[in-house]
Structure 1
């Protein structure tokens, strides 16, 4: 027998059902319709049954709740016999055997000759883990002789219970003892696709019998919960009709199937009770079962039924279904107490009555559920499409072109962020605070000149230069050494984070005038008296410039860190959902290396700028001269105010007398001039009119520290010119080499280091485009789900066609 062990789809099921029987050989015929194949059923009912059967064929029952009949009961409760009566086929009935995996029957009425296709339906893998998509495999060739079905089912069940063995072993091998199976039970199922003129349009499932204990030689304790969980997965669905079989030969209380049915159908609205094996009731106990038929005990909305099926011995004797139904009718007509029941209860006896009622309930349920099924289908289709669209784009058939497109879009985005985006979290926006911190730090390196001698200078209180208020922010007006406390920018590591801390000024920060004077005298060589070498100013300037390296390097490192974080964010944005993440990781590594190279160039540029500042220089003569005279006046004024306090106070407080009118001058005597007024008047009499009060201080003797004051003014003025120049040039250099530098040549760098332009470009792109298996599986599951949902929806659209 050839092995057709292959996976098939729902559409292939339909094609397989069109196989024609061989020209030679016999086809077993049944003289009367069996079960729901009874031709007397109404056309409308048959149409409903045909529709739900087609829906089951699509596999959509895993997504929505479809009407179905599930036969449950304890082991050896007669379930299989009941299935035989409905389907017209013989199930494995060897002594000591029982159903150990679900057997699904998908019946379809056809004008063609009778045929059966056996399939294995796997919902778990060999390790028992759930599959994302159920797998159907054809098991053997199409059967055209009903006598072959029992053996094929037995072999199929053994194949299900031995998932690690080749299917061919069970198709072609000798019959083996069922006790040698790898599994004692399985929730994978055997599916029978049966069609013919005497077959009903129906789907139902024979489930493994519930067990209370397992033997030490076969099975384990987990089998109990496994079987119960399997049965529960069917009967918990609201559209499942529970066909509850109870064997009369065993006490009702000892059969757990009823407990489970009542748990999921407590009101008994979708449960049909079936009493089996009435001929095995112990003598004298027959009356104990009559209350069930009268629906007095454990009442059900659809009542209890009683059937009598052929025994194992009858099956061996090749009894026909017609004979079986005749013997059943004779039994209930001639055997007490069944024959003594009122006429109104006789309709609950015999298989034909059960099948008729079962058919009616199922077709009514289908009619009621159709609008709901349509609604559920549409909602489920919408959710499936939504979930599918949320997944990353499926891999392209041209990965080289797709990756090239991704790279170009990424570069365009990088360029846009480098140029600036209107977003508070934009690259330029997050860099700006670090630039401001750098400027403040450089600004804080201004020399702290103190125009007083060290021995008593630290006690002197100085005023801030008012002329700096026009150029600096209010919070950054220079604090001269007189201030006891001052604000300084303290940097945390290389992050660029600035914390303003108030600290006590150390006396070593102050540069007293006598220190400047002593240094100037020590530096003199061949200069004429009163002249000092420029090296003094250079020494002070060099000490200041030396302090600029640290904040410049910190700014560079900070911008580098911010750019790396921003670039990683952009890489994730553009490449996170491509392939298995390999492209994202490689692009990140390449971009990081590229940014590091930009950092190196920026640091070299900073070194170059610092070297430029090695020699004091400026062509901004006007600005430099202006500040020199301002600081010179400021320092001299502080010294004069300290040395000639009374005179300076008089000069500052002097206010010329206002002119008086002629009438007042005629009648009053002017007071005698004193103080500053007298001095100005005397100078005017000497022929020096127009002298201002503040000019009087110029008449004082020269300050011996005059040269030191000039040096201080020179250095302080040059700092104003140099620090502003440096505070601009460093951020500009970093912007050019590091910020704008990341976009420069980045595309060529990515192409080159990814290797996608070389001879191996196609292969590399194909490897990079390989999708994450989890996402690929998810997409495949959703696509299959959407396909079967759409097929099912299409089936519903053809109702009545």
Structure 2
């Protein structure tokens, strides 16, 4: 492209900067980042194509409006190393292009050295027209317009630096068989897409022979650029202005009326008759027109295609310089964010091998978290601070301790007699109970006696500490509220039991009485135990869910993996509950049995404590030889009825055995039902998700659990494409 008035414009431009901007467009960075550009816009029949042809000196084909069906980017670059002009053409696929179409468009290329005559240009445009899948004639089902971009680059030793984008002209009326109302909106959206770019200079073309205020393209430009800071106006067809209306055009060119930062320019293109007759030089005809009244009063820098070209070069380079640093920053920021989004998607999961590999990485992370959680090695990972449910060892151990405390304090039906109250309770209440208290026919005490002391405030506690989880509803034990043990009524109860079950024993009691009283005294064990096991199950299940969420970023994969594991998890939870019930059944329904020497020691201490409590009041307080008691007082200890002696024996044996059994029971429940089945055993729920489990999954199972959804695949492909373009743009800007 030559400028006859000024053949060397290199001082007005920054070739390296403009070259970088054009390369950014070539690698599709402009699809994601607003790049500085010059876009030619106008209504249909505004003379836009003629202005573009005058600026580029290219012989645009005039058959069927081929060049106005899609955006065309035309780039001129001066390359002194070239001996002749080199022309290359390519197509940048639009964002809506299918993968097949995208591949075909990116593969296509055309080039030549030397001049570019109209027939060659027409041939290239026809080829591009077909490649984009546009309709070649009326009444076809193919599209009339395309979002793809035709890119034409012209380099040579005598070219001026200029880059311009031509978009289809907007229109309001349809052409039967060729355009529709949908096409009107499609073109409008396409044009607005380029005009909205805050870094674009809008070369707005309008005919001089119409009321400018009524032109839709002017309305759109004013909406998007209120102050006219990035709009350059071009008036065409001055030879068609009615006589007497010239002054309005001249006023506009002088900056009166619609004020634009880059001002208004007047160009005179060849008319249809001149083009048909041929032999008319465009620049000569324009210069001759400019010498006529009143157009000869226009400032030379506001008239003609060469003046327009010069101003465009200045505006383009100024715009590029102002925008360049911000463009660089936006590319870096967007590249970082796109990479993070792609990272959040995880590894690609299309083939069974990729899906299995993804699940194995999830398993490895899950087991790592489990290992640290069980060993209370919380300082190795910040997730233990943000996810309290992952502190598995601590949560379980704390629940062990509270379970043991609850059983010690709350789980017996009646309080055993202590040293402080033995003397009073044994000395009077038991003898009175059997010698004077009324009983029913079946040997049970009256209801009034059962209610004695009932005016005391009742304390209670709950057997569960964790809230129910919907996933575990079918296996968890419901929370119950248990009251504190009955205080001061154990002898009455033992007397009732003894009287209702004694046979012909003399001075002894039925051996089965221990099992009977033990079962009653431990009646609260099941609720406390099953509540405790339910809490441990909940703690373990919450840990598994939290560890899965941390190990598996993809929510869909996490959800499906959980759904697959759920049945096996429930089975393991049931096994723990089954073991707890098994231990409960042995302790409460089995034969009382212990080989623990603590039982005999405890029993002897109970008896000694009772004897000491009974003789303590007989010890004189002023004896010089310590605690001394008379023989007659010692014999008084044994002055008891058979019933009294039997009740005391039953109490002491039950108390001694209960203490031994309770310690054994707590250890067995914690070690076997909780720890072995739920926490540290070889087949606990946390060991279910392992590499062996993943390796056994079929291809169909892998696809169901870890396969990517179609929208994720599309997003991944889009992100990969965008990152590739942004990476290329980053290299261009280095």
Which residue of 2 is the match for residue 741 of structure 1? 681
> Which of 433, 448, 454 matches 2:414?
448
Question: Is residue 2:678 matched to residue 1:705?
Answer: no
Question: Is residue 2:731 matched to residue 1:791?
Answer: no
Question: Is residue 2:165 matched to residue 1:205?
Answer: yes
Unaligned runs of 5+ in 2: 379-383, 416-428, 438-444, 469-474
Q: Answer yes or no: is the 8 Å Cα contact 1:107–1:193 preserved in 2.
A: yes
Q: Answer yes or no: is the 8 Å Cα contact 1:307–1:351 preserved in 2.
A: yes
- The separation in 1 between residues aligned to 2:182 and 2:349, in whole angstroms, is 43
- The separation in 2 between residues aligned to 1:64 and 1:565, in whole angstroms, is 44
Question: Is residue 2:671 matched to residue 1:732?
Answer: yes
Structure 1 pair 502/557, CA: closer, same or farther in 2 (3 Å)?
A: closer
> Which of 67, 70, 87 matches 2:56?
87
Which residue of 1 is the match for residue 294 of structure 2? 337
Secondary structure at 1:485's aligned position in 2? coil
Let me know the Cα RMSD of the aligned residues.
4.7
Secondary structure at 1:531's aligned position in 2? coil
Question: Is residue 2:396 matched to residue 1:431?
Answer: yes
- The separation in 1 between residues aligned to 2:315 and 2:128, in whole angstroms, is 31
Question: Is residue 2:252 matched to residue 1:277?
Answer: no
Which residue of 2 is the match for residue 531 of structure 1? 508
Which residue of 1 is the match for residue 367 of structure 2? 411
Which residue of 2 is the match for residue 630 of structure 1? 606
Which residue of 2 is the match for residue 156 of structure 1? 128
Deviating more after overlay: 586-595 vs 56-65: 586-595
Secondary structure at 2:94's aligned position in 1? strand
- The separation in 2 between residues aligned to 1:405 and 1:259, in whole angstroms, is 57
Q: Answer yes or no: is the 8 Å Cα contact 1:441–1:489 preserved in 2.
A: no
Structure 1 pair 694/785, CA: closer, same or farther in 2 (3 Å)?
A: farther
Report the CA distance between 1:565 and its aligned residue.
Answer: 3.0
- The separation in 2 between residues aligned to 1:559 and 1:748, in whole angstroms, is 17
Question: Is residue 2:146 matched to residue 1:146?
Answer: no
Structure 1 pair 291/37, CA: closer, same or farther in 2 (3 Å)?
A: closer
Secondary structure at 1:741's aligned position in 2? coil
Report the CA distance between 1:459 and its aligned residue.
Answer: 6.2
Structure 1 pair 725/411, CA: closer, same or farther in 2 (3 Å)?
A: same
Q: Answer yes or no: is the 8 Å Cα contact 1:36–1:86 preserved in 2.
A: no
Report the CA distance between 1:86 and its aligned residue.
Answer: 1.7
> Which of 446, 450, 458 matches 1:485?
458
Deviation readout 1:590-649 (Å, 9 max, x if unpaired): 586267347526624751563366111223344455357538966998xx9xxxxxxx9x
Unaligned runs of 5+ in 1: 1-32, 163-169, 171-175, 462-480, 641-647, 660-687
- The separation in 2 between residues aligned to 1:563 and 1:585, in whole angstroms, is 19
Question: Is residue 2:96 matched to residue 1:121?
Answer: no
> Which of 662, 676, 681 matches 1:723?
662
Aligned length in residues: 680
Q: Answer yes or no: is the 8 Å Cα contact 1:104–1:205 preserved in 2.
A: yes
Which residue of 2 is the match for residue 42 of structure 1? 10
- The separation in 2 between residues aligned to 1:359 and 1:774, in whole angstroms, is 44
Report the CA distance between 1:104 and its aligned residue.
Answer: 2.0
Deviation readout 1:259-297 (Å, 9 max, x if unpaired): 222222222232211110111112332222111121212
Structure 1 pair 411/587, CA: closer, same or farther in 2 (3 Å)?
A: farther
Question: Is residue 2:569 matched to residue 1:611?
Answer: no
Instruction: Report matched runs for 1:220-259 at 5 Å.
Output: 220-259=180-219
Deviation readout 1:424-465 (Å, 9 max, x if unpaired): 53123333455456446645442437954534644655xxxx
Deviation readout 1:120-147 (Å, 9 max, x if unpaired): 43324369xx999999535574466432
Structure 1 pair 518/36, CA: closer, same or farther in 2 (3 Å)?
A: farther
Secondary structure at 2:38's aligned position in 1? strand
Structure 1 pair 794/278, CA: closer, same or farther in 2 (3 Å)?
A: same
Report the CA distance between 1:232 and its aligned residue.
Answer: 2.5
Structure 1 pair 133/624, CA: closer, same or farther in 2 (3 Å)?
A: farther
Question: Is residue 2:77 matched to residue 1:101?
Answer: no
- The separation in 1 between residues aligned to 2:476 and 2:507, in whole angstroms, is 49
Which residue of 2 is the match for residue 593 of structure 1? 568
Q: Answer yes or no: is the 8 Å Cα contact 1:275–1:305 preserved in 2.
A: yes
Structure 1 pair 284/124, CA: closer, same or farther in 2 (3 Å)?
A: same
Which residue of 2 is the match for residue 352 of structure 1? 306
Which residue of 1 is the match for residue 421 of structure 2? none
Which residue of 1 is the match for residue 545 of structure 2? 568
Secondary structure at 1:331's aligned position in 2? helix
Structure 1 pair 380/594, CA: closer, same or farther in 2 (3 Å)?
A: closer
Structure 1 pair 107/609, CA: closer, same or farther in 2 (3 Å)?
A: same
- The separation in 1 between residues aligned to 2:629 and 2:489, in whole angstroms, is 45
TM-score (norm 2): 0.77
Q: Answer yes or no: is the 8 Å Cα contact 1:437–1:496 preserved in 2.
A: no
Which residue of 2 is the match for residue 69 of structure 1? 38
- The separation in 1 between residues aligned to 2:5 and 2:91, in whole angstroms, is 25
- The separation in 2 between residues aligned to 1:299 and 1:315, in whole angstroms, is 33
Report the CA distance between 1:357 and its aligned residue.
Answer: 1.3
Which residue of 1 is the match for residue 425 of structure 2? none
